[in-house]
Chains A and B, each alone.
Chain A
Amino acid sequence: MTTRRIVVISAGLSTPSSSRQLADRLLADSAGLLRERGVEVEAQVFELRDLAHDITNHLLMGFAPPKLEEALDAVASADGLIVVTPIFTTSYAGLFKSFIDVIDPQALTDLPVLIGATGGTPRHSLAIDYAIRPLFTYLHAIPVTTGVFAATGDWGGGGDGVRSLPDRIFRGATEFADLVERTDRSEMVSDPFALDRPMGHLLGGLAGE
């Protein structure tokens, strides 16, 4: 049976957090869809709150402490990435961006991404498209077209009555599952210490030796 590895990053700061809750639902629908198609799913969930000090130390020192390194390695070798951040002051949380900043710029190439965000009111929902989506486009990841924004009201009866939160989650998860099913990204090893340009190539533009 085929197995796909999905990594979930939640940048919610409180415990429990609605960002984590949204992340869990995005994962549940995506994994459910994949399993229906006979694809086994291995999921790893990271809450950036637990990594906040490590992320700061990485920014200051240039290397990842062990716990953060585990998260970065998981992201780099994933078949799909689900991210959820709260929207603070018109954009992603600072901690979320700091995490993105310590990811190797090549590590997300061709990675399917499902974006979620949370906020107090739906008036911030476009932050997904003007702030978060360009990050992943810049990194050559593949964010699916549906981003899922959950405002506080969405968790009760005060949300969108026509396209409810569960509908939007399912739509995003469907687009995401389609891409994750097709990728074989986790089978490709990306080793930053590997030598891909031997000296003949470096000196004179020769291919190989």
Chain B
Amino acid sequence: MQFGIFTVSDITQDPTTGRTPSEAERIQATLAIATHAEEVGLDVFALGEHHNPPFWSSSPTTTLAYIAGRTSTLQLSTATTLITTNDPVKLAEDYAMLQHVSGGRADLMLGRGNTGPVYPWFGKDIRQGLPIAIESYELLHRLWREDVVDWEGKFRTPLQGFTSTPRPLDGVPPFVWHGSIRTPEVAEQAAFYGDGFFANHIFWPASHTQRMIALYRQRYEHHGHGTAAQAIVGLGGQVFMRKNSQDAVNEFRPFFDNAPVYGHGPSMEEFTQQTPLTVGSPQEVIDRTLGFRDYVGDYQRQLWLIDHAGLPLKTVLEQLDLLGEEVVPVLRREFAKDRPADVPEAPTHASLVQAKYGDDAPRQATPNANRGDNLTLGSPYQDGPAPAAVTSTGSAFGPAATRTAGAR
């Protein structure tokens, strides 16, 4: 089972000091948080995407690529990548690149985004959010699996003879999670492709998560990817810890009361009761987290939100220390107990390569010397079917590149 953290990249005033960090400061803090996550033994760091202040993470692959360069085992993911307002072609390219530079440590979580104006800013209509997500992902899925794609849809310009480069590392696309709070169609989408499903699981009652996961598992089996128990499930969570439970409550309360999402609404006590938020000792976090399994079954990935609402860097790093030293080792041990042998771990690049190639060498996509020009006669890659009627013209571009022998 994988454990990690995710951030939404909010830049929020520290309510205890009245100080708001700059963008530069918060970006550097996040890089420190990510590298420390690996140091304390966590498995995953996931980064959100926003296109408006007070958030900074507009370009997740740039950030994650840097973190990849500073770490060696950390799995890099997103929370979430906007499948609605991003061009699926650019997503295919960007995340394949991240996969290459990180040595296969990249996956991504797709979501629709809930900031209304982002849609028109990127030329989209929020009322079409779900149809866009369905169409765009179908294209993204093909771009990573077919060297040359002809495609036509409703929400982006058509493609003729397009090759998304670089090809996925070792010919294995990054693993995809689909995130949704309460849209059954997204659970169905994840199940249809045999992808992972990630339940936000913070800010909303556990009953929503339970219903969505149950639907996803049932449909995963229906679409023939395995049994319901073998579906790939991830959960969010939100914690604040101190050794002494009451210290955690006292210290976190001003951050809770003023947090952009739930501040000035329900009390912290109501909210911890009604949602998975846990404020208390490491043991309380352990107990609560182990309870998640009771209503979603054995699952693959647990991510926590620990750095939002203006919490200072030092505090966040201390939270990571507690997670790494006291919480996660116990959770690894306890979650492993009674876990059926046929429930898989979260897919990694290594496991996906193994599943696809066994002991054979994985594909290393190598473009033809004087092609690589995306044209549709045969494959642009050396291991593709050779184009029968084409002889080399010595030109990679322009009409000469496609001129056939007969036409000469």
Question: Is there contact, CB below 8 Å, between B188 and A198?
Answer: yes
Closest chain B CB from A163 CB (angstroms)? 45
Question: Is there contact, CB below 8 Å, between A195 and B219?
Answer: yes
In the complex, which residue of chain B has the Cβ closest to the Cβ of A58? Answer: B265
Assuming the contacts A56-B265, A198-B188, A199-B189, asked whether A63 and B208 have C-beta atoms less than 8 A apart, the reply is yes
B-contacting residues of A (Cβ < 8 Å)? 56-57, 60-63, 65-66, 192-199, 202-203
Inter-chain contacts of B73 with A (CB < 8 A): none
Q: What are the 7 A-B residue pairs with the smallest beta carbon separation, nearest first? A: A60-B265, A199-B192, A193-B211, A195-B184, A57-B266, A57-B265, A202-B134
Per the CB 8 Å criterion, the residue count for chain B at the interface is 28
Q: Out of B185, B204, B264, which one reaches A195, CB within 8 Å?
A: B185
Question: Is there contact, CB below 8 Å, between A197 and B270?
Answer: no
Q: Out of A63, A195, A203, which one reaches B187, CB within 8 Å?
A: A195
Known A57-B270, A63-B203; further 11 A-B contacts with Cβ < 8 A: A60-B265, A60-B266, A62-B203, A63-B204, A63-B208, A193-B212, A195-B185, A198-B219, A202-B188, A202-B189, A203-B134
In the complex, which residue of chain B has the Cβ closest to the Cβ of A63? Answer: B204
Inter-chain contacts of A60 with B (CB < 8 A): 262, 264-266
Assuming the contacts A62-B204, A65-B274, A203-B134, asked whether A193 and B265 have C-beta atoms less than 8 A apart, the reply is no
Q: Is B318 on the interface with A (CB-CB < 8 A)? A: no
Q: Is B156 on the interface with A (CB-CB < 8 A)? A: no
Inter-chain contacts of B189 with A (CB < 8 A): 199, 202
29 A-B contacts (beta carbon < 8 Å): A56-B265, A57-B265, A57-B266, A60-B262, A61-B203, A61-B265, A62-B203, A62-B204, A63-B203, A63-B204, A63-B205, A65-B266, A65-B274, A66-B274, A192-B182, A193-B182, A193-B208, A194-B184, A195-B185, A195-B219, A197-B185, A198-B219, A199-B188, A199-B191, A199-B192, A202-B130, A202-B131, A202-B134, A202-B189
In the complex, which residue of chain A has the Cβ closest to the Cβ of B190? Answer: A199
Inter-chain contacts of A202 with B (CB < 8 A): 130-131, 134, 185, 188-189
Cα–Cα, bound, A60→B263 (Å): 9
A-contacting residues of B (Cβ < 8 Å)? 130-131, 134, 138, 182, 184-185, 187-189, 191-192, 203-205, 208, 211-212, 215, 219, 223, 261-262, 264-266, 270, 274
Cα–Cα, bound, A63→B277 (Å): 15
In the complex, which residue of chain B has the Cβ closest to the Cβ of A64? Answer: B205
Question: Is there contact, CB below 8 Å, between B219 and A61?
Answer: no
Cα–Cα, bound, A65→B262 (Å): 13
Question: Is there contact, CB below 8 Å, between A61 and B215?
Answer: no
Inter-chain contacts of A194 with B (CB < 8 A): 184
Inter-chain contacts of A66 with B (CB < 8 A): 274
Closest chain A CB from B181 CB (angstroms)? 8
Cα–Cα, bound, A193→B134 (Å): 18
Inter-chain contacts of B208 with A (CB < 8 A): 63, 193
Cα–Cα, bound, A66→B262 (Å): 17
In the complex, which residue of chain A has the Cβ closest to the Cβ of B266? Answer: A57
Inter-chain contacts of B131 with A (CB < 8 A): 202
Closest chain B CB from A54 CB (angstroms)? 9
Closest chain A CB from B64 CB (angstroms)? 29
Closest chain A CB from B118 CB (angstroms)? 18
Cα–Cα, bound, A202→B203 (Å): 28
Question: Is there contact, CB below 8 Å, between A61 and B266?
Answer: yes
Question: Is there contact, CB below 8 Å, between A65 and B270?
Answer: yes
In the complex, which residue of chain B has the Cβ closest to the Cβ of A199? Answer: B192
Cα–Cα, bound, A133→B184 (Å): 32
Inter-chain contacts of A195 with B (CB < 8 A): 184-185, 187-188, 215, 219
Cα–Cα, bound, A61→B203 (Å): 7
Closest chain B CB from A192 CB (angstroms)? 7
Cα–Cα, bound, A71→B262 (Å): 22
Inter-chain contacts of B185 with A (CB < 8 A): 195, 197, 202
Inter-chain contacts of B215 with A (CB < 8 A): 193, 195
Q: Which of B131, B208, B265 has the most CB of A within 10 A?
A: B265
Cα–Cα, bound, A134→B191 (Å): 41
Inter-chain contacts of B204 with A (CB < 8 A): 62-63
Inter-chain contacts of A57 with B (CB < 8 A): 265-266, 270
In the complex, which residue of chain B has the Cβ closest to the Cβ of A200? Answer: B192
In the complex, which residue of chain A has the Cβ closest to the Cβ of B191? Answer: A199
In the complex, which residue of chain A has the Cβ closest to the Cβ of B114? Answer: A62
In the complex, which residue of chain B has the Cβ closest to the Cβ of A198? Answer: B188
